[in-house]
Structure 1
């Protein structure tokens, strides 16, 4: 994907979405992610294959459903169907802060420059930008704000409890 950012860098996307387990399709090699429904149906078969593995959640899915499998997953894909729908922000925070997920959390769908800073604060570190977004310009979003007040996935303490930075 040309509009992919991971860990604040434009990168080639090595992951392939996969669906089709219900029609008997064989599993491809390489790094794949599957929708939650297919994960639930074929979990053991998916875990037995070689290659990295991820699960895609709709913004209506409870991330607690996969909490016991997080140590075996390398990627969680979260859906942002439209800019005004922020449920995936909460999913990301739950995955990072409550369940301690260490792998990639990727935002897909209506992912815009204006959201990247806030997505990062919630623990998202992979971004499939909407097709009309410029990845090089979008990288600037991560540095547009220099001070945060609240604790979040990227900052444990509120501003009043942080050690002053030396100049």
Structure 2
């Protein structure tokens, strides 16, 4: 998982005095709203890196045909209890086979790190009060899961017929059983 420092991020949103619907001049690493992208995609150079901010109430299908052209899709968590962006990330990876960067923004908390990774996020802009060290530690909390995810479709504990299960102590971490 890549942790993004907004002050050093090469991606930049595009807006102007008239708000977000300014006349767009294609520039590398532009981060456009869905509405801006739909208005600019026909004149956007194929080889120029572009990203889209997809609201969590938008349908991933709205981007399906454009995904090969997008280097970044940013999914927003308006509240930490609103998990629609998890579903969007999973759809991007599993159904649409999107291979570009998927980034989490908004109310991205340390507690969310394992699920962000499992659902297909590559990067995250942590909420300002969250600790980078704690977020990195959170990614190592669980060695295995009972369900598959976007990276490993088969659960870690699943074994081919005839293969023995690992000893129980292999599934114990930090003093508690998984």
Give the TM-score of the pair, scaled to structure 1.
Answer: 0.84
1:137: how far off?
Answer: 2.3
For residue 161 of structure 1, give the secondary structure of its aligned residue in structure 2: coil
Question: CA separation of 1:23/1:160 partners in 2, compared to 1, >3 Å: closer, same or farther?
Answer: closer
Residue of structure 2 equivalent to 1:70: 67
Aligned pair partner of 1:112 in 109, 119, 125 = 109
Show the counterpart of 1:31. Answer: 29
Choose which of 9, 12, 15 in structure 2 pairs with 1:13.
9
Q: Does 1:85 align with 2:82?
A: yes
Q: Partner of 1:89: helix, strand, or coil?
A: helix
Instruction: Give the CA deviation at 1:51.
Output: 3.5
Comparing 113-122 with 48-57, greater Cα deviation is found at: 48-57
- Measure the CA separation in 1 of the matches of 2:133 and 2:95: 32
Report the alpha carbon displacement of residue 106 of structure 1 after superposing the two structures with TM. 0.2
Equivalent pairs, count: 158
Give 1:28 deviation, angstroms: 6.1
- Where do 5+ consecutive residues of structure 2 fail to align? 171-178
Q: State the partner residue of 2:173.
A: none
Residue 97 (structure 1) aligned with residue 94 (structure 2) = yes
Gaps of 5+ in 1: none
Residue 90 of structure 2 aligns to a residue in which SS? Answer: helix
Higher helix share: 1
| Alignment RMSD (CA, Å) | 2.3
Rg larger for: 2
Contact 1:10 1:135 in 2 (8 A): no
